[in-house]
Structure 1
Amino acid sequence: MSQLDFPRDFVWGTATASFQVEGAAFEDGRGESIWDRFCRIPGKVFAGHNGDVACDQYHRYPEDIRLMKEAGIQAYRFSIAWPRIIPLGTGAVNPKGIAYYRALATALREAGIEPVATLYHWDLPQALQDKGGWENRETAYAFEAYARTCFTELGDLIHQWITLNEPWCSAYLGYGMGAHAPGIQDKHAAVRAVHHLNLAHGLAVRAFRESGKPGTIGITWNIMVHRPATRNEKDRLAAEIAIERDSRMFTGPVCGHGYPRRFLEQAGITIPEQPGDLDIIASPIDFAGLNYYSENVVAWDELTEDHIRFMPTWQEKTDMGWSIVPQGFVRHLRWLSAETGGIPLYVTENGCAQKDVVVIDEHGQKRVHDAGRIAYLRDHFLAMKQALDEGIPLKGYFLWSLLDNFEWAHGYSKRFGIVYIDYSTLQRIPKDSYYYYRDLIAGYGE
């Protein structure tokens, strides 16, 4: 039997996000997002890049669907741009935004590809940020209304929903570290954002149940199960605290365990919760998504505020500088399965940034030989198979990413795609990893 012999009903997909691939930033009534604004702040995004055109999937989605179909890809995880649906975040719905996602989902279904929609992948309407963004509790209720609109208008075509993508990034990078939009550096702002994102998730789950639409709903986390640098008791404690900060602040309330009180007390922060919030946040979900790229090593440090210090690692690094740790993938899946009580899991992102180069082959065709990415993927598929063999309820995998795209603060300098994008012409060039993934899905991935 093949080492990479997966269940027949295992779902093989790929993923993108609206701001990273769509472009058409000022077309058909789309409103301004916090990333449109952030990209205009000098020094925030590599080389001043922006998402105005990106991969132009807004106009070229039929070509991208054809590429997916030819690779045998069974599901496509994309995100819906809130500013396309409700340009100001609240109020009037934009019919052209609804029409675009209906056309996309219809074309996917006609190609035999299941549409999987993420409601929020970081592109908050700027009009809501002007009122406080995720620091403002009202943003959670605005998200609930937006989610209801999506369920009503698209629920006949889309049957698998993800509320939020990586709320850790939205809260900590956006409001704590300032590295992502909206660029705020305030740990208390970050904690307010954490709670209101969690609340928004719960409100959207409740709204989905009330909608009566068919399908399932869950959430995607980039949980971090940091491993201690040594067997030393203090290093183990540092790892536990880091996991509370980076994972249980999000998984805890959603899974009905509440917030990690030890971390909150040590950090001197207060959750702005109101009566009933935790019940809403803990509305039962149908599945959980894991975005996994790497695993960090931490040690105890008396001098840092959280007593956590990230340590060097020996593993080979991707072009993002992230250690390649396939066995960490198994550890993360085990942790998430235990934390969520054994509900179905999906790998909603996994992939590798490489310095890809286009060459001309003997037939005069453009090719990209990305052997490093193929090695990364194969090692992670083997780890995923180990997790399945251990009984972890893993139901599917979405490779990040279908296309090279706008990589947030890194602009277009990092390439994660299995399809190369020539940003001067927007030509799509399938990489060797595209053909490898095609073969894996067909049962010939070794």
Structure 2
Amino acid sequence: MMNEFPKGFLWGAASSGPQLEGAADIDGKVKTVWDHWFETEPDKFYQQIGPRDVSNFYFRYKEDIQTMKELGFNSYRTSISWARLLPDGKHVNEKAVTFYRDVFTRLKENGVKPIINLFHFDMPYHFHEKGGWENRDIIHEFAFYAKTAFDYFGDLVEEWVTFNEPIVPIEMGFLNDKHLPAVVDIKRAFQAGFHTMLAHVYAVKVFKENQNKGKIGIILNLTPSYPRSENPADQEAAKWADVLFNRSFLDPAVHGTYPSELKQFIENEQIELHYEDEDFALMKQYTVDFLGVNYYQPRRVQAGDKASNQDVLQKYFIPYQWPEAKMNPHRGWEIYEKGLYDIAINIRNNYSNIPWYVAENGIGVEGEEQFIDSLGEVQDDYRIEFMTDHLRWLQKGIAEGSNCYGYHVWTFIDNWSWLNEYKNRYGLVRLDLETMERHKKKSASWFYELAKGNTLPEKW
């Protein structure tokens, strides 16, 4: 049947340590950049809710994992906290080992495969003070952290991820002020991005040299770039947007080489990139086994302004609002389901049809309390519609040969989201911020039927 998904398809959700765990200042964990930023500038955060407690998974994980089972999950992706496992970067925190081993064990006992990510934007603050991703030393610090995680949890985890959305800390931290260091400097952005990519490569190297079981990949937020028109200048703009925000990590991760256009950009902008001779050979040698793809919205662009002195990127492309766009008014993002199909076909055609899965897809809605019915359930039909429409396009991509093996919604329980905190809710399960109680939304029951049947529900 066209409506069925491949046998063994992964169904579940994604989250991260800093957005879900809480317990940010106990049991040996040290400060991350987010802990520090909230301490020093809490007014930057929408609701003045810091990362200390967030959704309290650290204390509620046993019941949360049971709920995952009740939702039909057969897989779940989260991250380890570098600042919890290696507080000083060198010595292992045994309390962290106990916590993570119990989480991974309970997931497996409940039929939920753990997919474990090493880095989700939560740089330990002591490394940030030394330059963070701009300091080449961070490559080897990260490789040591990766080896520690593989050594302590490799018997429980067979599917590892190095980074979630590595472009985001670069874009948000070096091209605007939404992440630390909150500077606008394209040259610093490129150096930090290069070191991030090398940290990924060295982690893959450690994994494969140590003959760890399982496989290792990376999760990228791939955002298809659509030109305003067939005009060559608009087409050129879409090419540059794709090169800078998709292919800058996608090509080296899968093919082991940077796109020639990215090298041209570096020359155009006279960016001096510091590297060592062996860097590119290692990049070529240590590519990923699989790819995770986060997809929320497309990127629409028009011809750049070559005379722009305000923003380097505006010389190459300028954002364009498509008049026919269907919008999520809460997030200000376009909803374009076909983008997921276009990603599937791009991976099939241009990236050796590498095995991949949808690592995040979901819709954030502000003020979900208005949709709570008399029984206390959020009637989130909009979330069901969002997932259904995206999954239909994904099915088309799979039917046409794209090697997709899973779908994870963002997210399981409403979680904390950086400067926006809990402004927009994404979960299948509602979190009451006052009591920390969890309540399944209507979409949770729908997701159970989807996962257990491995088929899109015909009616709901």
Q: Give the TM bin, normalised by the shorter chain.
A: over 0.9
Once the two structures are superposed, what CA deviation does each residue of 1:254-312 show, in whole Å capped at 9, x if it has no partner? 22232422222233323322111122233121101110001011001224433211011
User: Would you say the 8 A contact 2:65–2:110 is kept in 1?
Assistant: yes
Letter in 2 for 1:344: P
Partner SS for 2:326: coil
**1:248 CA displacement:** 1.6
- 1:27 is matched with 26
Partner of 1:354: 365
1: CA distance between counterparts of 2:104 and 2:364? Answer: 28
Give the residue type in structure 2 aligned to 1:415. Answer: R
> Matches of residues 21-60 of structure 1 in structure 2 within 5 Å?
21-40=20-39, 41-60=41-60
CA displacement at 1:339 relative to structure 2: 3.8
Q: Distance in 1 between matches of 2:411 and 2:102?
A: 21
* Corresponding residue number in structure 2 for 1:397: 407
Supply the AA of the counterpart residue of 2:118.
L
**1:327-359 per-position Cα deviation (integer Å, ceiling 9, x unaligned):** 011112222343432210111111111231266
User: What is the alpha-carbon distance in structure 2 between the residues aligned to residue 347 and residue 359 of structure 1?
Assistant: 27
Offset from partner CA, 1:409-445 (integer Å, 9 cap, x none): 2111111111111111111111111111111112252
1:366 counterpart letter in structure 2? G
Task: State how far apart, in whole Å, the 2-side matches of 1:126 and 1:91 are.
Answer: 14
Alignment of 1:63-74 (within 5 A): 63-74=63-74
Decide whether aligned partners of structure 1 residues 235 and 361 sit closer, same or farther in structure 2, where only a CA change above 3 A counts.
closer
What is the distance in 1 between the residues matched to 2:442 and 2:166? Answer: 32
Between 1:103-112 and 1:204-213, the stretch displaced more is: 204-213
Looking at structure 1, the residues matched to 411 and 450 of structure 2 have their Cα atoms a distance apart, in angstroms, of 16
182-191 or 194-203, larger mean C-alpha shift: 182-191
**2:457 paired residue number:** 445
Counterpart residue type for residue 297 of structure 1: R
The match for 2:290 is 287
Matches of 2:337 and 2:371, distance apart in 1: 29
Q: What's 1:381 paired with?
A: 391
CA distance in 2, matches of 1:120, 1:300: 35
In the TM superposition, structure 1's runs of 4+ consecutive aligned residues that sit over 4 Å from their partners are: 358-362
Distance 1:42 1:62 in 2: 31
TM-superposed deviation, 1:361: 4.7
Counterpart CA distance in 1 for 2:436 and 2:402 is 40
Aligned: 1:312 with 2:326: no
1:192 to partner: Cα distance: 1.1
> 2 CA distance for matches of 1:270 and 1:372?
47
For residues 104 and 231 of structure 2, what CA distance do their matches in structure 1 show?
A: 52
1:331 maps onto 2:342 in alignment: yes
- CA shift at 1:70, angstroms? 0.7
CA contact (8 A) 2:140 2:199 kept: yes
| Equivalent residues of 2:347, 2:402 under 8 A apart | no
> Does 326-335 or 153-162 show the bigger shift?
326-335
Alignment of 1:207-356 (within 5 A): 207-254=206-253, 255-259=255-259, 260-282=262-284, 283-302=286-305, 303-304=307-308, 305-306=312-313, 307=315, 308-313=317-322, 314-318=324-328, 319-355=330-366, 356=368
CA separation in 1, counterparts of 2:443 and 2:68? 13
The match for 1:420 among 423, 430, 436 is 430
1:11 and 2:21 aligned: no
TM-score (norm 2): 0.93
Paired with 1:123 and 1:404, the residues of 2 have a C-alpha distance of 19
* 1:136 corresponds to: 135
C-alpha distance in structure 1 between counterparts of 2:117 and 2:83, whole Å: 14
In angstroms, what is the RMSD of aligned CA positions? 1.5
One-letter amino acid matched to 1:324? I
Q: Is the partner of 1:77 in helix, strand or coil?
A: strand
Listed as ranges, the gaps of 5+ residues in structure 1 are none
Judge conservation of contact 2:217–2:288 (CA < 8 Å) in 1.
yes
Question: How many angstroms does 1:115 deviate by?
Answer: 0.6
In the TM superposition, 1:96-245 aligns within 5 A as 96-245=95-244
C-alpha distance in 1 between matches for 2:270 and 2:327: 35
Where structure 2 has 5 or more consecutive residues not aligned to the other structure, the ranges are none
Deviation at 1:7, TM superposition (A): 1.1
The alpha carbon displacement at 1:230 in A equals: 0.5
Q: Say whether the 8 Å CA contact 1:357–1:369 is kept in structure 2.
A: no
Q: Deviations over 1:18-46 (max 9, x none)?
A: 11011000111001101111223244321
Shift of residue 99, structure 1, vs aligned partner: 1.1
Q: Percent identity, aligned pairs only?
A: 33
In the alignment, does 2:371 pair up with 1:368? no
Number of the residue aligned with 1:410: 420
Q: Which amino acid aligns with 2:60?
A: R
Q: TM-score, normalised by structure 1?
A: 0.96
- What residue identity is the alignment partner of 1:445? P
Q: CA deviation at 1:136?
A: 0.5
The one-letter code matched in structure 1 to 2:293 is: L
